[in-house]
Amino acid sequence: MFHSQFCRSLAGAAFVSGCAMLLSGCASRGPEPLEIRDARLAIQDARSAGADQLAPDLVNAAAAHLTTAQNVWRDRGDSGQTIHYARLADSEARNAQFRARARRAREALELSNRR
């Protein structure tokens, strides 16, 4: 009798401990990947360069990829997919920034050639 009670208590404690470990593993996914921060900064830089007016499609695509990366991280904690979408966002934002700066440089050159 003592042995079966002991086994039941031990099994119950093991079950509770296992559930606690599973729940803590789900809750503590750690900080979001650095690529999300990099993508945020790249979008901010692109907007500062005027890309939201000069290359809005690229800025919007970058923002959409960043949102996807954040959602994947929040909902599934899938670091591979999160990093993939964050890098896409970063790339689109840098492309938008480059295009905005190139367009402004071209406009400045055309203006100086008219003088």
Contact at 8 Å (CB) between 94 and 65? Answer: no
**Higher model confidence: residue 29 or residue 44?**
44
- Write down the pLDDT at residue 36: 98
Q: And the tokens for 70? A: 């954040």
Look at residue 110 and give its three-state secondary structure. helix
pTM: 0.73
Contact at 8 Å (CB) between 97 and 42? Answer: yes
- Write down the pLDDT at residue 39: 98
| Tens digits of residue pLDDT in 30-88 | 899 999 999 999 999 999 999 999 999 999 999 999 999 999 999 999 999 999 999 99
